[in-house]
Amino acid sequence: MKSSFLTLFLAIVLSVAGSKAQDTAKVKQQAKMMADAFFRGDLNTLMNYTYPKVIIGAGKAKMIASVKKSLEEMKKAGMSFRSVSLGAVSKIYKAGTELHCTIPQHSSINVPGGYITSTSPLMGISADGGKTWKFISAGNMSKQEIDRLFPNFNPELVFKKVTTPVFHKE
């Protein structure tokens, strides 16, 4: 009897631990798909991974036009994205009917004379129990913005601050 109980207990613990690892892997995989779409210039796919409440205000077409304009302005200034990589996914928190987490996003941007590196938090949001994830840059969000976008925000989720950009001379 004791060994049956112990076996069942271990099976449940290992199952829960395995599903947690799978959950964070799914978040990171989808965040990477979003970043890859950005680098390919596939702005439609980028918008598909963007948190919908961000798009609703302007609409998808205007958001795409805004991103294109920003990229063109960067190019005119001699700047371009060099790379984006993702760090470890935070703990996933329940927030009302959504799941929330953060992922450190490490960016490198070519600038005249070198490149700049910085890290900022990307927030992952799932409205379907972790099957699909949408993302929003969360580094400079005010408390008012968080409250407006996420009325059930879980205060246990803490955003790390954006790091000060560092210039690297080439």
Phi-psi region for residue 104, left (φ > 0), alpha (ψ -120 to 50) or beta?
beta
Residue 4 counted as domain residue:
no
In the numeric block, which tokens belong to residue 97? 């009917």
Residue 151 counted as domain residue:
yes
Residue 52 has pLDDT above 60, yes or no: yes
Average pLDDT over the chain, rounded to an integer: 86
| DSSP tag of 149 | H
Could you tell me the pLDDT band of residue 161, with boundaries at 50, 70 and 90?
confident
In terms of pTM, does the model score above 0.75? Answer: yes
Quote the number of domains for the chain.
Answer: 1
- Domain enclosing residue 116, as ranges: 20-169
Q: Is 124 exposed, middle or buried (0-12, 13-18, 19+ CB in 10 A)?
A: buried
Residue 8 counted as domain residue:
no
DSSP string for residues in 51-111: -HHHHHHH-HHHHHHHHHHHHHHHHHTT-EEEEEEE------EEETTEEEEEEEEEEEEEE
Residue 108 counted as domain residue:
yes
Residue with tokens 């099957």: 131
Q: What's 58's domain CATH number? A: 3.10.450.100
Residue 149 counted as domain residue:
yes
Using CA of residue 60, residue 63, residue 65, residue 67, what is the dihedral sign?
negative
Residue 36 counted as domain residue:
yes
Residue 7 counted as domain residue:
no
Using DSSP, state whether 44 is helix, strand or coil.
Answer: helix
Name the more confident of 57 and 130: 130
Residue 10 counted as domain residue:
no
The pLDDT value given to residue 38: 87
In the numeric block, which tokens belong to residue 170? 């080439």
